[in-house]
Amino acid sequence: MTDFDSDLFLPDDFDIAPVRLTVDLGALADNFREMTRRSGSARTAAVVKADAYGLGLEDCGTALYEAGARDFFVAVVQEGVTLRTYAPDARIYVLSGVWSGQEGLFYEHGLVPVLASEEQLAFWMSVTAEHGDHPCALQVDTGFNRLGLPLEEAIAFADDVSRPASFSPVLVLSHLHSGDTPSSPLNRQQRESFQRIAEAFEGIETSLAASAGIFLGPEYHFDLTRPGIALYGGEAVVAAPNPMKPVAKAEARIIQIRDAKKGETVSYGGTYQLARDSRLAIVSVGYADGYLRSLSGSGVPLRQTVKDGAFGFAAGRKVPVIGRITMDLTIFDVTDIPEKEIRTGDYVELFGENIALDDVARAAGTIGYELLTSLGLRHERRYIYPDE
């Protein structure tokens, strides 16, 4: 009887995974150092919300901490609690603020709530009055119409002599809505509005620039910058070369290679008709894995405005997605790859060093942020550490 429990029969899970994700933590650290360099005299934080943009909060948070990050931003308190284990003496800001019942977590784990409304301000001041002083941050809306105190209300609050002494903001921040478009005059308008805030809260650190804002130049940097997508290799600025190193590589395994005749159709709805005799690679990735249906080569509304669907990369060549992407499977046309150079069990790169993340995103009618944060649970992950 064969002993299948023997180590001789247990290959590495990554080597046989249907879908897999490689995260280069050395590239992540290099990107942090590059954004630090570009931030000039400003200190540089790391944004690790949404599970470090889908790449793993624990591993990415540790790599960024070891690269020198001592300020972090998360979206929700649970992310902050997790990160604290891996960034023991960092200042961790929670962008969604604080809600009743959570205040103990902020004190216990040394987290800093980002307060964005009069209601949150009033609640936090009542908490500090009862439990003692604890740092917080204040978010001001300078034109985004998302989170934040209105500009004039924030300035009035800064001048309010009745503010309790226990209220101790360590940071005042806002967010650019068009930072990825350097030519937009709205960037300057927001910067000028934020400059008024910085003057009103003299002596308190200020932060305006996320990834795109850093590229706008020193006048946007203030005291603290907050890069996010650029750390993970994504484009921060529209229609400009991306100077960041790719961090994530997604791949999927070929389950079958089949021959199909000219005139036959491919995938659901028969929306793609073959113009030649073809070889098709059936690959184990679909929209359940975050490989979005809008990336399909045909049969989706986006193809009416964006001509081409996604491309993968196999055997040294780009290969197009054809037909509709399904829940678990995608079909690539590999006709132009010599038969001896590709076989079942090989992997197709979905994005990474050869297929840029944001090129795939454009084919889906979206942005790199969404692709990364949509990565499904089925990806087997491997982290490459800086010394490997």
Which active-site residues does the annotation give?
Answer: 49, 268
> Helix, strand, coil shares of the chain as percentages rounded to 5?
35, 25, 40
Residue 136 phi, psi dihedral angles, 5° rounding:
-145, 170
* Residue at token pair 């197009």: 320
Contacts of residue 87, defined as CB under 8 A and 6 or more positions apart, other chains included, come to 61, 62, 64, 65, 69, 70, 72
Report long-range pairs for 241-247 (Cβ below 8 Å, ≥24 apart).
242/356, 242/358, 243/34, 244/31, 244/34, 245/24, 245/27, 245/30, 245/31, 246/24, 246/27, 246/352, 246/353, 246/356, 246/357, 247/23, 247/24, 247/25, 247/27, 247/28, 247/31, 247/55
Residues forming a β-bridge with 114: 137
Contact in structure between 300 and 247 (CB atoms under 8 Å): no
Residues forming a β-bridge with 73: 47, 93
Token duo for residue 282: 């059936």
Distance separating alpha carbons of residues 244 and 314, to the nearest angstrom: 23
Contacts of residue 241, defined as CB under 8 A and 6 or more positions apart, other chains included, come to none
Which alpha helices (H) appear in the chain, and where do they start and end? 13-16, 25-38, 49-53, 57-66, 77-86, 103-109, 118-131, 151-158, 185-200, 211-216, 357-363, 368-373
Q: CA-based Rg of the chain, rounded to a whole angstrom?
A: 24
User: Which SS3 state, helix, strand or coil, does residue 309 take?
Assistant: coil
Contacts of residue 179, defined as CB under 8 A and 6 or more positions apart, other chains included, come to 187, 209, 210, 211, 212, 213, 215, 216, 220, 236
Residue 248 phi, psi dihedral angles, 5° rounding:
-110, 140
